[in-house]
């Protein structure tokens, strides 16, 4: 009893808030994040700090971008982030985050160490962790973002639009028979062969783009492939997250034994902007659409009932980026 009292007193001294009383801000609700932690969030969130670029994109897609006050130094999308404050996320700059006086910090276990929650709790900064392993997680995350930021309706619309674009893509690729679906290897690194293992959202993207991902049955979540693996698997297409200006010849220079791999032999090494593949966020659908144009250059155009914007945007940027 005395111990609890001392704890209350010291908490009072340090933080200056009541202990065990009901004086907490009006109508705070408790939500459970992806780590299974209860997080107490104000009903009206006004100052949000995002600790990962994909969370920033999700916040904007959910219609709550105006609540963001600071993002990471790696953020570059949407352009509106240019006016926001920047802070270091890896390792996280606790001082800078606290100085923003946020009423919610957004984090994801793919970027931020879950152990940081203890420090944030001690600082009395509410932090919510997201986790994305499938494309559905991204849509769920978008809805969650809407409910956290108080923009449920906008988030729902956004999810619906994304799902529509995805199903439009699927309609076009579903008719492709299995033998014509290329076996695709998606790589993150060109020298060290970082890739995606079982349970990753990337396999859903490849499948929606009309291909078959060859790493979907690997046990490790983030495998580093061996050159042997690629040689024996013989992928028909290699898609890399190396940016639009990547020269595909570099890949063969790094891995000279791959001259017998069909993807290299047939000149089917494509590089896409990393953000479209590596950020589990709203632009993954654009990534899938771009991948589809590479896997199936002669793919039938989208039907008129589908949103044209993705397709035309994809087509125009493809011409820019396809120059090797």
Footprint of another protein (CB under 8 A): 189, 191-192, 218-220, 223-229, 231-232, 234, 256-258, 260
**Residue (114 or 223) nearer to another protein, CB:** 223
**Paired strand residues for 88:** none
Q: How far is the CB of 240 from another protein (least distance, A)?
A: 12
Integer CA distances (angstroms), 87 to 74, 97, 100, 304, in order: 9, 7, 10, 44
- Asked if the bond preceding 91 is cis, omega within 30° of 0, the reply is yes
Q: How far is the CB of 257 from another protein (least distance, A)?
A: 4
Q: How far is the CB of 276 from another protein (least distance, A)?
A: 17
**Residue (167 or 220) nearer to another protein, CB:** 220
Q: How far is the CB of 272 from another protein (least distance, A)?
A: 16
Q: How far is the CB of 215 from another protein (least distance, A)?
A: 10
Helix (H) or strand (E) holding 2: helix 2-15
Q: How far is the CB of 248 from another protein (least distance, A)?
A: 18
* CB contact at 8 A, 183 and 211: yes
**Residue (92 or 169) nearer to another protein, CB:** 92
Start-to-end C-alpha separation, the chain:
72
**Residue (88 or 226) nearer to another protein, CB:** 226
Nearest to 125 by CA among 103, 93, 109: 103
Nearest to 278 by CA among 57, 33, 89: 57
Q: How far is the CB of 229 from another protein (least distance, A)?
A: 6
**Residue (147 or 234) nearer to another protein, CB:** 234
**Paired strand residues for 106:** 50, 128
**Residue (1 or 260) nearer to another protein, CB:** 260
* CB contact at 8 A, 283 and 277: no
> Could you tell me the sign of the dihedral formed by the alpha carbons of 295, 296, 297, 301, in that order?
negative
* CB contact at 8 A, 23 and 12: no
Q: How far is the CB of 232 from another protein (least distance, A)?
A: 5
**Residue (49 or 202) nearer to another protein, CB:** 202
Q: Write the DSSP string, 232-292.
A: HH--SEEEE-S-TT--THHHHHH-GGGGGSHHHHTT-EEE--HHHHHS-STTHHHHHHHHH
Rg of the chain taking only CA atoms, in angstroms:
23
**Residue (260 or 323) nearer to another protein, CB:** 260
């Amino acid at each position: 009893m005395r111990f609890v009292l001392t704890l209350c007193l010291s908490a009072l001294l340090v933080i200056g808030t009541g202990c065990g009383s009901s004086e907490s801000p009006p109508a705070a609700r408790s939500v459970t994040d992806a780590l299974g932690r209860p997080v107490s969030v104000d009903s009206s969130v006004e100052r949000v700090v995002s600790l990962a670029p994909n969370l920033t994109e999700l916040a904007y897609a959910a219609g709550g971008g105006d609540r963001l006050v600071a993002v990471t130094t790696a953020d570059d999308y949407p352009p509106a982030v240019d006016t926001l404050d920047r802070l270091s996320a890896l390792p996280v700059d606790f001082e800078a985050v606290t100085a923003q006086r946020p009423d919610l910090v957004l984090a994801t276990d793919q970027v931020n160490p879950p152990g940081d929650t203890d420090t944030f709790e001690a600082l009395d900064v509410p932090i919510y962790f997201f986790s994305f392993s499938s494309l559905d997680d991204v849509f769920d995350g978008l809805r969650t973002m809407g409910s956290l930021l108080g923009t449920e309706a906008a988030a729902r619309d956004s999810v619906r639009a994304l799902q529509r674009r995805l199903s439009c893509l699927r309609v076009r690729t579903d008719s492709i028979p299995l033998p014509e679906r290329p076996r695709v290897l998606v790589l993150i690194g060109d020298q060290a062969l970082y890739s995606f293992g079982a349970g990753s959202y990337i396999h859903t993207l490849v499948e929606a783009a009309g291909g078959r991902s060859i790493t979907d049955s690997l046990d490790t979540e983030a495998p580093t492939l061996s050159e042997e693996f690629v040689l024996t698997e013989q992928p028909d297409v290699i898609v890399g997250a190396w940016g639009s200006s990547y020269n595909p010849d570099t890949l063969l220079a790094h891995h000279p034994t791959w001259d017998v791999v069909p993807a290299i032999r047939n000149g089917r090494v494509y590089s896409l902007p990393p953000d479209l593949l590596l950020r589990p966020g709203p632009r993954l659908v654009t990534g899938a659409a771009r991948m589809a144009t590479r896997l199936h250059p002669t793919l039938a155009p989208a039907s008129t009932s589908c949103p044209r914007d993705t397709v035309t945007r994809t087509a125009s940027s493809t011409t820019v980026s396809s120059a090797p």
